[in-house]
Structure 1
Amino acid sequence: MKQFYLTREHEIFRTSLRKFLQKEAVPYYEEWEANRIVPREFWLKLGNEGFLCPYIDEEYGGLNTDFGYSVIIIEELEKVGSSLVGVSLHNDIVVPYIDAYGKDQQKKEWLPKCISGEYITAIAMTEPGAGSDLANIKTTAIKQGDHYIVNGEKTFITNGIHSDLVIIAVKTDTSIQPAYKGISLLVVEKDTIGFSRGKKLNKVGLHSQDTAELIFQDAKVPVKNLLGEEGKGFYYLMDKLQQERLVVALEALVSSEEMVKVTTEYVKNRKAFGKSIGQFQNTQFKLVELATEIEIGRTFIERLIMEHMEGKDIVKQVSMAKWWITDLGKKVASECLQLHGGYGYMEEYEIARRFRDIQVMSIYAGTNEIMKTIIAKNMGLN
């Protein structure tokens, strides 16, 4: 369907990105999956071509573009494979915190390298004992002179192995009530004393996306690396989660579109009982039903993107999109794998990878159960 917020310039940008990915990502993607890592060289190539954080102001090396360019990057990366989610996280989830809340000196120091691909970013909220319950994180940052001394662990951190800058949610005040008022955001640089990476986590899917544990043992983080104001971290996180969840919903939608596309081609060519299985009524009905639900999801997403670009508060609607479309994605994956028959269970078929990768989208950026509690609150049901 037509994306009304996109201009001719946007489409020229899409064509350029698509050509780049066909050359620099598609031929190597399965190798990256086998090696369980996307090489840093790919990030540098993305940066060199202007595909990292294009919305950043020209003063810091960006292109000062609108969110439509981010939408294009998210869509085209997802078409290649879900393990490229780390790029979208860097572009549209982590770096926006620096752009929005960073002091001018922080921006001058970090943003140009985030745009070039020299710096890869991550955000660390989740802990071994705190996921959705963010107010109860245990990682502390105690100010001592011109440093914070940070202690704690973070887990399930996207870009955890490659990251050069990690925004971490910490407790700078452990006594204040309610507890969320004691949360602050610090930017931890890769060579920080006391900061180390745990093991790269072995996941069900997203194999080439580097997910890791991060460990802070008396880590010395300069006070100048405080992002925004002390005690405002929870508010900053809540402010940016609308875009994060919109990104995840869009990724799940594109993955669903791709799964129906590859399955439609498969059933046209797969023969059984003397004809293609695409000619069987059951196959047709299944794909028609999925295609219809995906089209409904696409219509909803397009509306939300336009409203987000207009600066509207659409937390309730984005929460609806995030849970419904990621759940739809799991349904699409299951049905499409079934239509592939035994071949769907073979790793050489794309549907097997998509089936594995889609599962986590209903978990990260806030579980779908949390999405429903947010919607209920916005409906006045609490």
Structure 2
Amino acid sequence: MSNKRPLNVEIKKINKTNIYQRFLSGGMLTRQELAADLQLCIPTVAKNIDELLDAGLIAQSGSRGNTGGRNAVAYSLVSNARAAIGIEITSNHISMAALDLLGNIVTTSRVRAAFSSSEAYYKNLGSLFRELVEKAGLTGEQILGVGVGLPALVDIDRRTILFSKIIDLESNVYEQISAHIPYRVELFNDANAAAYTEIWKDPDRRNAFYLMLSNNIGGCFVLDDTVYPGATQKAGEVGHMTLIPDGQKCYCGQKGCVENYLTAENLSSLAEGSLQDFFAGLENGNREFVRAWDKYLGYLALTVNTVHALLDCDIVLGGYVGGYLDAYLEDLRERVAALNSFGDGGGYLRTCVYKKTAIASGAALNFIAAFNAEI
């Protein structure tokens, strides 16, 4: 008798979760359709429909014809019933994105703001956050949480910074941000956050390595649909593998790191800081840009070949440069294939799904996924 109640509670939870997941899949559903699809009785479906209606997660959205009787009421997900906010902080910019329960981007913002570990900087961050919330038309009750992607190693508690040299984050950065954003805040490594967008968009890709090609170079290993952080949260730090022995000095103190040779700034600096202008000039045949791009692709091929030799999985190319790589993917695949010792082609290379706001979106999606899983 003592085990009956917990078992019943668990079954009720499973039924509610399964019904909610069907609504997440999209489209209108009637009680009859849900009962047939999930092999549940109508009273069970009706009870859960009422609970989801009371929570504001679904709403009546129409009806379906029912031969010989009244039309059946149809329901759909209210995708904006809840939302999460993602923030990306870099040396020179603050980017934000608001996402709904389906992971759709509701609105974004990006402003130039030189990072400073100061009260004025975080006060401005809070102001920009409030502007985004207002722009998205969100109320406080709708916001599940705020994820902040940083160019830093973040501990498993999502509050503590373990390593940060790109921007001068202080040990109390969590408190500094939380003081101006009155919601649940979690910190994320930028590459890990960006990689999560790929898991969300392509759940069938169970194992992959995400290579972030931005002004700083990062990586993330996705293992069984989960970001693998490593024993000390340092997994995937491809930017600090040695690419050229005794090469250029890196900010980390070592020489020849991948970071120095694949930073997007090597390209954007040729076009007055604009990566978009660099690729426009490359397409138009600018000779200096063509030479720089050829050199960049060579270094990228070496890096990709090394990562693939170690992990033997798909590699997703993301970040600022990754957003422009579709037109050059076949060239890169040929270069990688030429370096491979086992005759493998470069078919394992993919370009990112999120061309922009990947870090902010990924930081927000963690809250969306957690909420959807808990229903």
Same fold, TM-score > 0.5, yes or no: no
Q: TM-score, normalised by structure 1?
A: 0.23
Structure showing greater relative contact order (alpha-carbon pairs closer than 8 Å, 6 or more residues apart) = 2
Q: TM-score, normalised by structure 2?
A: 0.23
Structure with the higher fraction of residues in helix conformation? 1
Structure with the higher fraction of residues in strand conformation? 2
Structure whose alpha-carbon radius of gyration is higher: 2
